Structure 1
Amino acid sequence: MRQPGQRMPLYTPEERRRRDETRWTLVQGVLAPLQFAVFLVSLWLVVRYLLTGDGYTAATVSVVVKTLVLYTIMVTGSIWEKVVFGKYLFARPFFWEDVFSILVLALHTAYLVALFAGAEPRNQMFLALAAYVTYVINATQFLLKLRAARLDSAAAKSAGEQDGSAPANRQANPGMVGLTK
Structure 2
Amino acid sequence: MFTTNVLARFTAPIDSCPWGTVAGRHARHAAPRRPLYTAEERRRRDGTRWTLVQGLLAPLQFAVFLVSLGLVLHFLATGEGYAAATASVVVKTLVLYAIMVTGSIWEKVVFGRYLFAPAFFWEDVFSMLVLALHTAYLGAVLGGIGDAEGQMLLALAAYVSYVVNATQFVLKLRAARLDERAMRDDRIAALGYSK
**TM-score scaled to structure 1, two decimals?**
0.89
Specify the alignment match of 1:160 in structure 2: 187
Which residue of structure 1 lines up, in the alignment, with residue 170 of structure 2? 143
Matching of residue 113 in structure 1 with residue 127 in structure 2:
no
Aligned to 1:22: 48
Higher mean displacement: 56-65 or 110-119: 110-119
Which residue pairs with 2:96 in the alignment? 70
**In structure 1, what is the Cα distance between the partners aligned to 2:189 and 2:48?**
29
Q: Which has the larger radius of gyration?
A: 2
Percent identity over the alignment is 70
Distance across 1 between alignment mates of 2:31 and 2:173:
21
**2:5 equivalent in structure 1:** none
2:42 partner letter = R
Shift of 1:6: 2.5
Could you state the TM-score of these two structures normalised by the residue count of structure 2? 0.83
Q: Paired residue for 1:45, among 62, 71, 74?
A: 71
- 2:37 maps to 1:11: yes
Q: 1:57 aligns with which of 78, 83, 90?
A: 83
Aligned residues: 166
Q: CA deviation at 1:4?
A: 4.0
Name the structure 1 match of 2:62. 36
Deviation digits for residues 110-133 of structure 1 (CA, Å, limit 9, x no counterpart)? 000000111211111000000000
- Corresponding position of 1:179: none
Distance 2:187 2:98 in 1: 37
Shift of 1:7: 1.3
The corresponding residue for 1:167 is: none
**Whole-angstrom CA distance in 1 between matches of 2:92 and 2:34:** 34
How far residue 5 of structure 1 moved from its aligned partner, in angstroms, is 3.6
Distance 1:20 1:4 in 2: 30
**SS where residue 36 of structure 2 aligns?**
coil
